[in-house]
Amino acid sequence: MITPIASPWESDLWQSELKLAIRSSRSLLKTAGLACDSAYRPDDFPVLVPRGFAAKIRSGDAEDPILKQVLATPEEAEEAAGFIRDPLNETTDTFNPTPALLKKYAHRALLVTTPACAINCRYCFRRHFPYDQHRPAVAKDVIEAIIKDTTLTEIILSGGDPMLLSDAALAKLYGQLAVVGHLKRIRIHSRLPIVLPQRMTTELLATFKNSHLPTIMVVHANHANELDANTHRAFNVLKAAGVTLLNQSVLLKGVNDHASVQCTLAEKLFDQGVLPYYLHMPDKVAGTHHFFVADRQATEIYQDMQASLPGYLLPKMVREVPGKAAKTQLISITHEA
Ligand code: SF4
The domain limits of the chain are: 80-329
Verify whether ligand 1 is closer than 6 Å to residue 186 (CB atom). Answer: no
Residue 222 contacts residue 249 (beta carbons within 8 Å): yes
Spans of the chain, pLDDT less than 70: 1, 88, 90-97, 99, 128-139, 323, 325, 332-337
Question: Distance from the CA of 335 to the center of ligand 1, in angstroms?
Answer: 32
The closest residue, in CA terms, to atom 8 on ligand 1 is: 124
Residue 251 contacts residue 222 (beta carbons within 8 Å): no
Question: Distance from the CA of 208 to the center of ligand 1, in angstroms?
Answer: 22
Q: What pLDDT was estimated at residue 336? A: 46
Q: What pLDDT was estimated at residue 208? A: 98
Contacting residues for 157 by C-beta, under 8 A, at least 6 apart: 111, 113, 173, 186, 187, 188, 189
Q: What pLDDT was estimated at residue 321? A: 76
Question: Distance from the CA of 109 to the center of ligand 1, in angstroms?
Answer: 19
Verify whether ligand 1 is closer than 6 Å to residue 226 (CB atom). Answer: no
According to CATH, the topology of domain 80-329 is: TIM Barrel (3.20.20)
The closest residue, in CA terms, to atom 3 on ligand 1 is: 160
Question: Distance from the CA of 134 to the center of ligand 1, in angstroms?
Answer: 16
Rounding to the nearest 10 degrees, give the CA dihedral for residues 73, 79, 80, 81. 170
Q: Is the pTM of this model over 0.95?
A: no
What is the Cα–Cα distance from 70 to 48, expressed in whole angstroms?
A: 8
What is the Cα–Cα distance from 316 to 313, expressed in whole angstroms?
A: 10
Question: Distance from the CA of 40 to the center of ligand 1, in angstroms?
Answer: 20
Q: What pLDDT was estimated at residue 200? A: 98
The closest residue, in CA terms, to atom 1 on ligand 1 is: 191
Q: What pLDDT was estimated at residue 327? A: 77
For residue 285, list its beta bridge partners.
84
Verify whether ligand 1 is closer than 6 Å to residue 156 (CB atom). Answer: no
Q: What pLDDT was estimated at residue 83? A: 86
Verify whether ligand 1 is closer than 6 Å to residue 126 (CB atom). Answer: yes
Determine the residue of 18, 45, 68, 121 to mutate for testing ligand 1's pocket, defined as the one with the most ligand atoms within 8 A of the Cβ atom.
Answer: 121
* DSSP secondary structure string for all residues of 148-197: H-TT--EEEEESS-GGGS-HHHHHHHHHHHHT-TT--EEEEE-SHHHH-G
Q: What pLDDT was estimated at residue 185? A: 98
Q: What pLDDT was estimated at residue 36? A: 87
Verify whether ligand 1 is closer than 6 Å to residue 117 (CB atom). Answer: yes
Q: What pLDDT was estimated at residue 181? A: 97
Verify whether ligand 1 is closer than 6 Å to residue 161 (CB atom). Answer: yes
Strands 328-329 and 154-158: unpaired
Q: Ligand 1, closest atom to CA 195? A: 1
Element spanning 101, H or E: strand 101-102
